[in-house]
Homo-oligomer: A and B are copies of this chain.
Amino acid sequence: MIEKLARMAMLYDFYGKLLTVKQQEIMELFYGDDLSLSEIAQEYGISRQAVYDLLKRTEKILEDYEAKLGLVAKFKEQQQRIACIGELTALAQQTANLNYLEKISEIIQELKDLERK
């Protein structure tokens, strides 16, 4: 469930602005403010089922954007490599060992290759 939350948060972060205002509102109430389906239903004066359907449809729209553009996946790969460079830099500083620099160069090259994909 946490994984689903994190994924939706990320998809919404990337593609949320492409949703309608209502879709954005429902996503923010459910995923951002942690409101239950019933609470959202009450707020909008619609049925719990209608909120559920709206939410599922919106999640699917976001997943469809990611299936087409793949920017979240690309971003995650980048993030991993940047974290890796961070760790190697810290290690190089702690040990005063320049050999880590070669590995850093390799990862930078990977990052540049990733950009061109």
Contacts and interface: CB of A to CB of B under 8 A. Distances in A.
Interface of A: 14-15, 17-18, 65, 68-69, 71, 75, 78-79, 82-83, 85-86, 89-90, 92-93, 96, 98, 101-102, 104-105, 108, 111-112, 115
Contact of A105 (B14, B71, B86, B98): B86
A107 to B, nearest CB: 9
Nearest to A86: B108
* Number of copies of this chain that the complex holds: 2
B93 A98 contact: yes
| Among all A-B residue pairs, the 8 with the closest Cβ atoms | A17-B68, A86-B108, A93-B101, A89-B104, A82-B111, A89-B105, A89-B101, A92-B101
A15 B14 CA distance: 12
Contact of A71 (B71, B89, B102): B71
